[in-house]
Amino acid sequence: MTKRLLLVAACALVDADGRVLISQRPEGKALAGLWEFPGGKLEPGERPEETLIRELHEELGIEVKEECLAPLTFASHGYEDFTLLMPLWICRRWKGTPHGREGQAVKWVLPKKLRDYPMPPADEPLIPMLIDMIPAR
Ligand code: C5P
């Protein structure tokens, strides 16, 4: 049987100190407790960038302009019941202070410390990229 495809758009928000925001999946959701780059599922008719801008507002209360999203990579992972395809962006400019609007914990973490936070498998390949891209402090 062909597995269904799940399309998720996600983003590494990077602050002026070179820290990256991660968000903890809440109890009751799949992969609860794991730390992820914020984002979410595409709705019908949405472009991934539109999804990401909507999700960053819904989940974190920030406003992001599309021109501030730089494409970074395209992650994928085969789960038992679906295949996840996840384009990822990096964003250094937004309006507002990101906070967990859906009750989720959020943390700003230096790239070299990201490995201390268990992540879903599709998010993990982003860690070495962020370590390379963001100067160490
Ligand atoms: O957040 P939501 O439950 O809508 O995400 C759907 C699925 O996308 C999750 O079950 C997870 O497998 C995946 N996901 C991920 N990494 C993210 C966001 C979502 O692996 N940063």
Residue 38's pLDDT is 98
| Lookup: tokens for 6 | 């799940």
| Lookup: tokens for 22 | 């991660």
Mutate to test the pocket of ligand 1, among 5, 29, 31 (most ligand atoms within 8 A of CB): 31
Residues making up the chain, counted from first to last = 137
Q: What is the pLDDT of residues 96-113, one digit of tens each?
A: 999 999 999 999 999 999
Residue 136's pLDDT is 81
Indicate yes or no: pTM above 0.90: yes
Give yes or no for a contact between 101 and 55, defined as CB atoms under 8 angstroms apart: no
Q: How far is the CA of 46 from the centre of ligand 1 (A)?
A: 17
Q: Does the structural domain 4-133 have CATH classification 1.10.1370.40?
A: no
Tell me, what's the ipTM? 0.93
Residue 105's pLDDT is 97
